[in-house]
Amino acid sequence: MKTKTACLLFAIFSMLIFRSEAALLNSISPAGEVDIGREADKDILKVYGYYNNKELQAYVDDIGQRLIKSIKDPIFDYHFKIVDSPEVNAFALPGGYIYITRGMLAYINSEAELAVILGHEIGHVTSHHAVNQMNKSFASTLLTIAGLIASQDLRREAGAWVTITSQLSNHILSGYGREAEMQSDELGIIYAHSSGYDPRVMTDFFRKLKARERFAGTSYHGFLATHPDTIERIISADDKSNIIAARGGNLEKSEDRYKTKIEGLSYGGDPKNFKKTDRYLHIYTVKDGDTFRSIARGVAGDEGSALEIAMINGKNIDDTLTSGEMIKITLKRP
């Protein structure tokens, strides 16, 4: 049976691989980018699932459209969508189609963090990273796959197809290499600041994801081997965001507003199947004397979840909590 990766990449590349060799080797026009994104969007939502929360979907789209307003003469209409996956990821397709997983939303702690992440993905689109990568390195591979797909043996052999599509997936879901990722970091900082958000949160968010990587052994695509060294990237983001923030302005973080919006967000689950999770996020207001361990034991009913709760709030398990502070905790649905 095909994996999600196989299904996703087949959707993205199916209409490309049957184009002529000349078409593949030529630059794809903006209209062509929209065509690619529009067609792939349908299948991405089939594979990952569209997260069923209209209010939260509208909220994420509102933040994305606010960022787009800071771009002079954008050439695409942008579509921001939450996909129903526990993976901590966000990615963009050509033509203005941008996706963020519910798993990523669980690790975000402010509207400003959401803005820099969406801004980063917008940067991939405005810089045409996907189609540039296609033109540079996909053409010969796609032509080879076109011949293989014609083979009935390959169509019957799911394993072979999965191997090929898994290799190609690294380019779409794992990023576009050092230079492109650094460029998109900078654009995300600029777009967030121009929209009134504090871009310095990007540094904290990167550190938080690095801590998660050490704990869980998995990584947001920003920290895979094809990307800049994590420490270098954090330092670069810190330098650039401080320089941009120094321009001034009433810069928002909007932590409480963001947390209020994600109340009830589905949390966790197995990304390898479509089984629904029975866990969700609850926004808890800290009381005097609360610790992550006491909250995990007394509110979440599982003291063992204290470290996880601390991590999704971007804190260490022994950090002191402030009375009145809003934090995310994980609960099981009744």
> Which tens digits make up the pLDDT trace of 158-209?
444 344 444 444 455 556 677 788 888 899 999 999 999 999 999 888 888 7
Contact at 8 Å (CB) between 116 and 197? yes
Q: Flag whether pLDDT at 225 surpasses 60.
A: no
Nearest to 110 by CA among 205, 229, 10: 205
% of the chain residues with pLDDT over 90: 48
Contact at 8 Å (CB) between 271 and 49? no
pLDDT score of 180:
80
Output 15 or 197, whichever has higher pLDDT: 197
129 confidence band (pLDDT: 50, 70, 90): low
Residue type, 169: S
Range of weakest confidence among 26-30, 191-195, 283-287: 26-30
pLDDT score of 190:
94
- Calculate mean pLDDT across residues 134-139: 55
Angle between helices 158-173 and 4-17 (to 10 degrees): 80
Task: Tell me how far apart the alpha carbons of residues 292 and 272 are, in angstroms, rounded to a whole number.
Answer: 30
210 confidence band (pLDDT: 50, 70, 90): confident
pLDDT score of 20:
39
- Which segments of the chain belong to CATH 3.10.350.10? 278-332
pLDDT score of 308:
93
276 confidence band (pLDDT: 50, 70, 90): confident
Output 268 or 33, whichever has higher pLDDT: 268
Range of weakest confidence among 75-84, 139-148, 234-243, 300-309: 139-148
5 confidence band (pLDDT: 50, 70, 90): low
CATH 3.10.350.10 fits 278-332, yes or no: yes
The predicted-structure confidence for 35-72, as pLDDT tens digits, reads as follows: 888 888 888 888 889 999 999 999 999 999 999 999 98
Q: Flag whether pLDDT at 260 surpasses 80.
A: yes
Q: Flag whether pLDDT at 318 surpasses 80.
A: yes
Q: Flag whether pLDDT at 4 surpasses 60.
A: no
Chain centroid, CA 272 distance in Å: 17
| pTM of the shown model | 0.81
Dihedral sign from CA coordinates of 244, 245, 250, 255? positive
